[in-house]
Structure 1
């Protein structure tokens, strides 16, 4: 399906999917097969040598997963995509495709806690250093680039601070240095923001979140814009002969598809975080309602954020859609009607103690370490999702002792506000009621 021909909502339903020729089935078939029959010996040899496209083994290519990849690439406006078993695995294979021992990464300090530890601990064990930039000014990134720097990594909307990356400014800085800009756009979703349109080279998603929307499945996706030139000095792996594939070169043999081909035929093959066919089916099905869900979620978020901003027990609300937010102009630039997603944080008076009581007093909102569900979720990041961070890292990530992260669902905004209101009231009294049941 031509991504330029049909509107977003149409592509969310139809991209990557054609009726099954053998049966006429209109829904996406689930191909639960580990391996595939070759036409003959020559066909098998050609597929293994990457001279011919075709299924070999579901760790690398699966028809159901391929349909999901095409759908997400269409929605993001990318050349293609590679799906993986989780969002963190999507990031990891991207990172190790771009950097090797002795290389360096520039990353925002405002990231999901798991991303920070992946960069700060796991990559360092592989000899890849990360410089965390405590700034949203692209020029501070430019000043930190060295000859060892291989890419810049940011979240389009930081989790949980809600700060918005200056994608255009960062893309200009990255491209001037000959490196790609990698953007985690999980919180933004392709419905609200498509980073490739603003200069990003690679977009990653935790498909567990909004793309699925159900909180029932794990998955990740890497989308390549197809515009970055990989055959340059900083990326020798792309133009050196690959012995495992008869000395072909990624950039020489695959041109604009060089990154995607290498990611699939090398990183996905060797690390092995394959997405199952059934998980791909569930995520693809979830994407069909993505525009409807996200529209309702951001409408609810606006109503709740505006209400929280006026509450006497709330110190601050970190949602850039508010006119009083320091990044409101940036929200207007990148998001329709400044609706910068449905995941945001607010800081409650009383610090960690009040935050604990607030969480324990919720009835309708669930205390869950996830985002992007149709159900509204809440968590205290400093003691859970970001508990592994130092005090300085928490500060740089925009997290205070009393910070609460909300992921707003599709319920009635009135009912959600009523639940938040009673939990805030309880937090001022010192103890959560013992009768509260989390749902």
Structure 2
């Protein structure tokens, strides 16, 4: 497919990165279930290993099925390149890996998925990295948190679980002034609703497990590189701007330019961390992306209708959906995400924790699982599960207090979902 900017999103989600198979003419992207690839000769092998020629060496690094997915995700996000990996959590480590070093820090939002908060507050310490958590609504606090050791800002476009909408353009101004990249997790919004790179983000990460695949079948992650950051503008990012010993002094920024981060993530990140996406999973995700726009439209329509119904119910304390006029994020969501604000939000019940537990247990159509972005509607009590490792203060800051339930609205008939919610609320408050 030619790189023609006139193609619309619906066309690109089907065609970007894909060509008929050159050997068989197969129109659907084949699953290249192989670990290794035959070299033409010794010189060809050496050129590949020296990064002098682009091609396939070993599927820990590159695979033709995964390569199609990488190009498709990069195209939909408006990036220069992308690297896919085994999960969303792997993608977060992959995004930080070229930027960080012992003693360096990332300034992150307090409103993040619980697993990310734990990964940043606990696990990355083992690498000698640190995280500072700040309310990203307080832009002065964000500026104050950045110091000489800060190497990135990290936030979610639509925060999990509360559905809070992040002011990406404002954060991009701060990161630009500080000379550091802005990393945005776009899992909950997807590129159909939000393109963070167009708003100034440097890198975009995804848990492709969620809306991109869309049916709860496979795990996967992605890091999309905008190609717009000047890694050589300062000495903060030596992995990208200085000679790399493992490649005989190759300088990634000088050699690969706008694709420096992407090539580093493959040649160093995947090579040494091994967070590889298997081609079978890549195939499932490619199939899911083909219907992304259609599904997101339905997710948004259903979520809006259901959030309005829940907000009007006297058994409900509040609903956090940004599509509601009562939301503090309503105007920002309308400005940044004109196509809709996704299918994720929380609902607080007047009966508190006890009512939440009964409510979750009484639902029939909604599945009680630790996932989101499925065609099926899903529900979970975040404080007991996804955010359980956090302190009560961290839970409240993330929007995951004991009195709220996270709902991920699917694409079923909205009236059927409302009926299920109604009967569960009746049982929970009896």
TM-score bracket, normalised by the shorter chain, equals: over 0.9
Moved more, 122-131 or 218-227: 122-131
Deviations 1:183-203 (A, max 9, x none): 000000111111001000100
Q: How far, CA to CA, are the matches of 2:215 and 2:401 in structure 1?
A: 29
Q: How far, CA to CA, are the matches of 2:239 and 2:66 in structure 1?
A: 27
Moved more, 363-372 or 235-244: 235-244
Task: Please report how far the alpha carbon of residue 239 of structure 1 lies from its aligned counterpart in structure 2 after TM superposition.
Answer: 2.1
Q: How far, CA to CA, are the matches of 1:407 and 1:239 in structure 2?
A: 41
Contact 1:139 1:173 in 2 (8 A): no
1:223 aligned residue? 224
1:133 aligned residue? 134
2:12 aligned residue? 11
Matched residue of 1:97: which SS? coil
Matches within 5 A, 1:231-250: 231=232, 232-250=234-252
Aligned length: 428
1:435 aligned residue? none
Q: How far, CA to CA, are the matches of 2:280 and 2:128 in structure 1?
A: 36
Task: Please report how far the alpha carbon of residue 17 of structure 1 lies from its aligned counterpart in structure 2 after TM superposition.
Answer: 0.5
Deviations 1:128-185 (A, max 9, x none): 1111002413332111110000000000010001111110000000010000000000
1:258 aligns with 2:260: yes
Deviations 1:97-151 (A, max 9, x none): 2111010110001000111111011111211111100241333211111000000
Matched residue of 2:155: which SS? strand
Matched residue of 1:55: which SS? coil
1:331 aligned residue? 333
2:351 aligned residue? 350
Q: How far, CA to CA, are the matches of 2:134 and 2:126 in structure 1?
A: 20
Moved more, 133-142 or 203-212: 133-142
Match for 1:269 among 250, 271, 280? 271
Matches within 5 A, 1:277-292: 277-292=279-294
1:22 aligned residue? 23
Moved more, 127-136 or 98-107: 127-136
Match for 1:312 among 311, 314, 318? 314
- Name structure 1 gaps, 5 residues minimum: 430-439
Task: Please report how far the alpha carbon of residue 246 of structure 1 lies from its aligned counterpart in structure 2 after TM superposition.
Answer: 1.5
Matched residue of 1:336: which SS? coil
Contact 2:13 2:292 in 1 (8 A): yes
1:96 aligned residue? 97
Contact 1:156 1:167 in 2 (8 A): yes
TM-score in terms of structure 1 length: 0.96
Contact 1:138 1:166 in 2 (8 A): no
Q: How far, CA to CA, are the matches of 2:82 and 2:331 in structure 1?
A: 31
1:433 aligned residue? none
Task: Please report how far the alpha carbon of residue 96 of structure 1 lies from its aligned counterpart in structure 2 after TM superposition.
Answer: 1.8
Contact 1:359 1:378 in 2 (8 A): yes
Contact 1:3 1:74 in 2 (8 A): no
Deviations 1:39-59 (A, max 9, x none): 100000000000100000000
Q: How far, CA to CA, are the matches of 1:149 and 1:137 in structure 2?
A: 18
1:359 aligns with 2:360: yes
Deviations 1:297-318 (A, max 9, x none): 1000000000011011111100
Task: Please report how far the alpha carbon of residue 350 of structure 1 lies from its aligned counterpart in structure 2 after TM superposition.
Answer: 1.3
Matched residue of 1:205: which SS? strand
TM-score in terms of structure 2 length: 0.98
1:303 aligned residue? 305
2:370 aligned residue? 369
Deviations 1:308-333 (A, max 9, x none): 11011111100111111111110011
Matches within 5 A, 1:66-145: 66-145=67-146
Task: Please report how far the alpha carbon of residue 3 of structure 1 lies from its aligned counterpart in structure 2 after TM superposition.
Answer: 5.3
- Name structure 2 gaps, 5 residues minimum: none
Q: How far, CA to CA, are the matches of 1:286 and 1:100 in structure 2?
A: 36
CA RMSD of aligned residues (A): 0.9
Deviations 1:257-291 (A, max 9, x none): 11111111101110001000110000001100001
Matched residue of 1:132: which SS? strand
Task: Please report how far the alpha carbon of residue 83 of structure 1 lies from its aligned counterpart in structure 2 after TM superposition.
Answer: 0.2
